[in-house]
Amino acid sequence: MYTPSTGIPEGFPWFLIFLFLFSSATFPQADEKLKKVTVYESTLLYSFDDPDTFGVKPEGSIFFTVLNNFPAPRSRKYLSVRSYGIQNESISILFPKPLEITDHISEVSVWIHGFFLPVEAYLILADTDNKRVYIPLGNLKYRGWKRLSVSIPEGIHQEDLYLKHNNPVAIIGFHFVPVSEKRQKRYFMFWLDELEVKTRKRYLLPPGY
C-alpha cells in the first residue's frame, strides 16, 4: 500500500512540538483565578480621647487627663491615668459601656506607657456566656510606650449560644495589680492609647482548618 511521505523523518521528537505549544499558551495567573482572602482584620476599637466617662474601682482613687505631648505611634492624644491609694490595692478601669464584638477575636492589643512600675496589667473580658475573665497583658516594669498584646485563649467561649444569634464578646476594661506586698501609701501613673482587636468572621474557618 502506498503511504504518502510527510517529509518528517522517522523518530521525530513530537513531544518537543507539544512542549512548545503548551509553553506558548496563555493561562490565567493563579492570583487572578483565586482572589487573596484576608481572614483576620485589625480594627482600632478605642482611642482613649475622653477623660470623663470611665468607671473606676475603688471609686475616687483614679484620675484621668487627656494629653497630646508624647502620644503613642500613629496617635495624637492619649489618656494619662494617675492612681492614689494603698500599695497592694488593685484598681480597675471600666469602659462606660462594654465594647461588644460579634466577630471571633484572635488578639487584643493596647499601647501602655510605663514608668517602671511593679504592676501587672489584665484585660477584663466577658465571653458569650457573660462570664467575666481576666487575661494577663503583662508587667508595667518598663519605661516608655509599649504595645501589649494577648491572644484570646481557646477556652474562652466565643461561639453563639444559638447558631447565628450574634451573642457578643465584650471588653469590659482593664485591671491593674501591684505586685509589692508592702502596705503603704502609693501613687503611680501610666498612659493608655489605641486599643485594637484582631478578628475574623465567626463562622469563617482560619487558615489550616
Instruction: Give the global pTM.
Output: 0.74
C-alpha–C-alpha distance, residues 195 and 193, integer Å? 6
Percent of the chain with pLDDT over 70: 71
Tens-digit pLDDT profile for residues 134-180: 999 999 999 999 999 999 998 898 888 777 678 899 999 999 988 86
Which listed CATH number (3.40.50.360, 3.30.930.10, 2.60.40.730, 2.60.120.260) goes with 42-200?
A: 2.60.120.260
CA angle 189, 50, 125 (to 5 degrees): 75
Residue type, 108: V
Q: How many other C-beta atoms can be found within 10 angstroms of the C-beta atom of residue 115?
A: 14
**Residues β-bridged to residue 122:** 136, 175
Is the pLDDT assigned to residue 34 strictly greater than 50? no
Residue with cell 507539544: 18
Residue 38 C-alpha from the chain's centroid: 15
What are the Cα distances from residue 158, in Å, to 95, 103, 132, 195, 203?
Answer: 20, 8, 12, 19, 11
Taking a C-beta distance cutoff of 8 angstroms, is the pair 104, 202 a contact?
yes
C-alpha–C-alpha distance, residues 151 and 135, integer Å? 9
Percent of the chain with pLDDT over 90: 39
Tens-digit pLDDT profile for residues 65-111: 888 888 877 788 899 988 876 556 788 899 989 999 999 999 999 99
| All three cell numbers of 5 | 511521505
User: Given this model, what pLDDT does residue 33 score?
Assistant: 43
User: Given this model, what pLDDT does residue 177 score?
Assistant: 87
C-alpha–C-alpha distance, residues 15 and 47, integer Å? 65
Based on C-alpha coordinates, what's the Rg of the chain?
29
Taking a C-beta distance cutoff of 8 angstroms, is the pair 90, 177 a contact?
yes
Q: 133 CB contacts (<8 Å, ≥6 apart)?
A: 124, 125, 126, 127, 156
Confidence of residue 30 (pLDDT cuts 50, 70, 90): very low
